[in-house]
Amino acid sequence: MNHLGRSLMKRKELIPLFGFTLFGGFAASFMVIYSLSKSDVIINKKKNPEPWDNINPNKPQKLYTINQKWKPVEELQKVRKLTK
């Protein structure tokens, strides 16, 4: 048995602390990977300087979304047409 296993067997009260720390590390790693896969995260600004133009309004951008409804704003649509 390694040193960590022996110390956990001697001090059993450290087992939940060790478990919660591992869980927190895995959860943080998952959120980093999940956030990097989203379309509104900019990793390379030179390749795609305006990534928000390519966001699908029908696809939720949050981890958990309740009743998301998207309607285009008329003023913004007019400005977009004038600038292109």
Domain ranges of the chain: 3-83
Q: What is the per-residue burial (b if ≥16 Cβ within 10 Å, else e) of 42-69?
A: eeeeeeeeebeeeeeeeeeeeeeeeeee
Between CA 35 and CA 61, with CA 63 as vertex, the angle to 5 degrees is: 75
| pLDDT (tens digit per residue) in 24-78 | 999 999 988 887 777 666 676 677 667 677 777 777 666 666 776 777 788 888 8
What are φ and ψ of residue 15, in 5° steps? -60, -50
pLDDT at 30: 93
